[in-house]
Every structure is written in structure tokens, then in C-alpha cells.
Amino acid sequence: MSTSLAKPAHASAAAPVRADRRMKRFLSLQDFETAARRHLPRPVFGYVHGSVEDGQSERDNRAAFARYGFKPRVLVDVSARSQDVEIFGRRYASPVGIAPMGITALTAYRGDIVLARAAREANVPSIMSGSSLIRLEDVMAQAPGTWFQAYLPGDDAQIAALIDRVAAAGVQTLVLTVDTPTQANRENNVRTGFSTPLRPSLDLAWQGITHPRWLAGTFARTLLKHGMPHFENNYATRGAPILSRNVLRDFSDRGHLNWTHVARIRERWKGTMVIKGILDPADALKARALGMDGVIVSNHGGRQLDGAVSPLRVLEDVVAQAGDMAVMFDSGVRRGTDTLKAIALGARCVFVGRPFNYAAAVAGQDGVRHALKLIQDEVSRDMAMLGITRLQELDKSFLVPLG
């Protein structure tokens, strides 16, 4: 008998087995959304799920992938496949990473840490949001190598102080999100009862009572162990609590930001630097001229400007202007086939947001681990179907425009 079979059963060995059994009903990333809709209070789910105004951009993010069909290569030996990818000198196990998402600690207990730890365990890139309720230092201690997405504050002194704080925390890859010059018109938040700051009401209380697993496992547990959540990473110092009126002020001072600020940050920041929110190839050219290491082609998941073009529709044009910058992609990726289409058009890797948020909400780190495995397994199977063994073999010749 092998030693692995001879080991007695114990709690640490049983836990993954229980987690596997619990995860069997989740067959795709979409399945986590259905479960999260039941688990989360309506305002909290609405915040994550919603887009801006009429949802044109969010719908087009998905529709853009359907514009391409695959042209597979057959009778290729694909018995040994690898989906690893190199980004900024580091080898990752998969081209699918976790996108930055705000206030995830309100949807899952210690949500930012859960996401970052799952990504580190799977060896995939993960970006922590600046609109987070957990100190970036705590996340970096739990998951070194996590990228940090900064929303820049209101003046040069505050910007410099924030950048210095991020560097001191050990962050190596700084991501500047540049598509939020003002608050978006998210009517969906109003309709579902979500507001920033959160406003106590009878309806909000009822939503908590009628979602006891979330109330006890996430919100009450957070209050008891960590106190009232604050926006921890908008500035070099602690930001406002989620119930404070000052939250609106904290998020309203980005309209003045321009390329001059980016140039100053590039001079100050010694690590890898990425700009997220690029849709115009001319902006990619500006980023390249300022010495950026990479850009993320993104329309913020359809959550900022309604009608903003799907990133997939401009990806090739951005790549053409990028030079040796790493071009990455987010907004609308839900399947392994989506991932491979973006890579065929020039993306180095893709980032997925909402589904991993839902996975963390319904099943914590086990959920995120399973969600990552689902899409990685899809990528591997799809590579075999396409007749490739490495992502570097994939290019536009595998795609056929439809319609």
C-alpha cells in the first residue's frame, strides 16, 4: 500500500474533499452569478452586477466575442499542452487573471485577501482595487506579488504620498486606472438600493435579515473582528468609512488628472507601471512614449461611459501602437474561448472581474480556486480543439470574422 493511502483521515485532508463536493454544481463562471444573486442582499448584488445607464457597453462586451469564429488545425499532437505566459519577467500558469474590483470585502469576508491568495496559489496575476476596504499592506502580507490599482487623489502632494505608500508596501506592479474622471451615472445602484455612502434604512436592514448567511458570515463578522469598514487605499492615509458623507468627496477629485501627472508618477515609481482603461490607439502611443510597461485595454466592464466601444473591437489597433509594451485585456471575458480570441488578436493575458467576485461571495477562497480551475480547464481543452500546444502559436489566422 502506498504511503498516501495509508495516511489516516484528518481535518486538513477532508477539507479539500468537502470543498470539491460543494463546488460540483458550479460548471461555469456563469453559475456563480446565479448563486450570488440568492446569497447577497439585493443592493450589494446590484452594485457588483450592474453597469451604467442602459447597459450598451456591457452587452457589447459579450457580443464582440461572437463576431469571430475559430478555424481549428486538426491532426496535431496536442497531448502535452501548456497555457503558461510570461508577463513582466514572471512566468504565470495561465493567461487568466483577477481584475480589480472595489469593496469586495462587502461581498465576501476579507474579499480582497481571498481573491489575492487564490490567485497566488494558482500562480495567476491579480490586481487589488484602490477602492478597497482592506489595507493594501495586509493584502501584500498575505499574497506578495499582487498588483495594485491606484485611483489617483486630488493633488500632486497626495499623489506622491500614495505612490510612496504603495512602494513601501512591497508592490511591484502599479496599475493606474484612467477611465474614471467623474462619477458614472449608475442608475442601477439607485434602483437596487445601493448608495455610496451606504445609508441605513429599513429596507437595507430587511435585506440583511433575509440574507442571514451574508449578514452573519460577512457583514457582522467584519464589524466584530475589524470594525466599521473604511476606504483604506484612496490616499496615503486612511479614507472615510463606508457610512460617511466624505466618501463622495473622496471619489470626486479625479477630473483634473492628465498625462503630466502620469509622467511625474513614472519618474517617481521605480517598479512596473501599467495604464488601465485604454481604448484609443493614440493613447496607447502616449503611454508608450512615457515609458509605460503595459496597458490594459478596457471599458471598465461597461461601468463608466455607456456606449464606450468594446475593448475587443479596438484590441488589434492598440497592439499595433504598443511596441514592446505588454497589452492586456479585460471587460466581458467569461469563457476559455473568449480568452483565446483576445490572445489571438494580440493580448498577452486577460482579466476577469465579476465572476470571481461572485465565487468569493458564495464560497470564499474555495469558490475562487474552483472558478479559476474552471476557466483554466476550458482554455486547455480549447487549445487542444484548436490544434495548438502553446499560446505563442495562436494568432489571428485562427479566427474568421463573422457577419
Closest by CA position to 332, among listed 305, 350, 359, 306: 350
Task: Tell me which of 211, 230, 300, 370 is the catalytic residue.
Answer: 300
Give me the amino acid identity at 304: Q
Residue with grid cell 469598514, as numbered in its chain: 229
Annotated binding site for FMN: 100-102, 129, 149, 177, 276, 298, 330-334, 353-354
234 three-class SS: coil
SS (H, E, C) 239-307: CCECCCCHHHHHCCCCCCCCHHHHHHHHHHCCCEEEEEEECCHHHHHHHHHCCCCEEEECCHHHCCCCC
Q: From the annotation, which residues make up the binding site? A: 47, 100-102, 129, 149, 151, 177, 186, 276, 298, 300, 303, 330-334, 353-354
Point out the annotated binding site for glyoxylate: 47, 151, 186, 300, 303
- 218, 55, 314, 319 alpha-carbon torsion, rounded to 10°: -10
The answer to whether 261 is a known catalytic residue is no
Of 340, 344, 341, the residue nearest 383 (C-alpha): 340
Burial zone of 80 (CB within 10 Å; 0-12 exposed, 13-18 middle, 19+ buried):
exposed
* Catalytic machinery residues: 300
